[in-house]
Amino acid sequence: MAFVEATRQLGRAGLFTLSVFRASKPTPDFFRELTREIYKIGARSLPIIAVGGAFVGLVLTLQGYRTLATFGASNSLSTLLGLSLYRELGPVLTALLFIGRAGSSIAAELGLMRATDQITALGLMAIDPVGKAVAPRFWAAVLSVPLLTGFFCSFAIAASYLEAVHVIGLDPGYFWPALKDNVDFVDDFCVALLKSGVFGATSALVAAYVGYHAEPTIEGTSVATTKAVVNASLLVLMFNFVMSALLFR
């Protein structure tokens, strides 16, 4: 029975995904909603992304320097930092922070819309609730997460530079050239953006699906919010492993 129920939920999620793409029509109203959602779930997530990126850069610098200094390779610190950020930590941690900050918000908003019959009311007014409430949030996440990943990595590298050069005493002449020579634009930076786009789509779809199909009660909304964060986080980690195995050989 559990297998049958999982298969049924997977089928419903697939149909829901198709309905999101069908409802994504380039109309003026759609672009207004898209702009509003980019601000709500993208721009408003920037402070936590910036703080998280800075502290990740500081920790990586501290631990990386201690490890590399043991082998006399402390000048490779920026290489370790850049590859770790762009290949793995940047996209994954940005997605996890985004899920906690914006994914939970998407699930809660749609769950409350279900609980207060707003979704039903949209249908009664011949307005597609998926196109009105879900599609703008989905595309806003797809566009925002790669940009947030770029900010995350930038703040991490800036914080790392300040600690490595002005606290630890590493020669700045080694920091930037090593980073530039060993971090490839296509293989590292562009792949990080690709990963981020997939993670943003996954996060938004999971949060929207769970919130859209939540039980029409306050308790159902809280359960949907928790389920959205847990399921989206696990899927991001799983997809990250699959994409890393395929892209980095």
Confidence of residue 205 (pLDDT cuts 50, 70, 90): very high
Q: Do residues 200 and 95 make contact, with C-beta atoms less than 8 angstroms apart?
A: yes
Q: Is 72 left (phi over 0), alpha (psi -120 to 50) or beta?
A: left
40 or 5, greater pLDDT: 40
Check residue 116 and give its pLDDT. 87
Q: What is the mean pLDDT of residues 179-192?
A: 88
What does pLDDT average to over the chain? 89
- pLDDT at position 129: 87
Report whether pLDDT(159) > 70: yes
Highest mean pLDDT among 188-192, 197-201, 215-219: 197-201
Give per-residue pLDDT as tens, 128-152: 888 888 999 999 999 999 999 999 9
pLDDT band at 25 (very low <50, low <70, confident <90, very high): confident
The model's confidence at residue 156, banded by pLDDT at 50, 70 and 90, is very high
Q: At residue 233, does pLDDT exceed 80? A: yes
Q: Measuring CA to CA, which residue among 115, 126, 139 is closest to residue 214?
A: 115
- For residue 4, pLDDT over 80 is answered with no
pLDDT confidence of residue 7: 81
Asked whether the predicted pLDDT for residue 249 surpasses 70, the reply is no
pLDDT at 202 over 90: yes
Task: Name the pTM for this structure.
Answer: 0.92
Supply the pLDDT for residue 1: 67
Task: Tell me what pLDDT residue 19 has.
Answer: 87
Of residues 12 and 156, the one with the higher pLDDT is 156
Query: Which percentage of the chain shows pLDDT scores above 90?
Result: 51
- pLDDT beyond 80 at 218: yes
pLDDT: which is higher, 175 or 50: 50
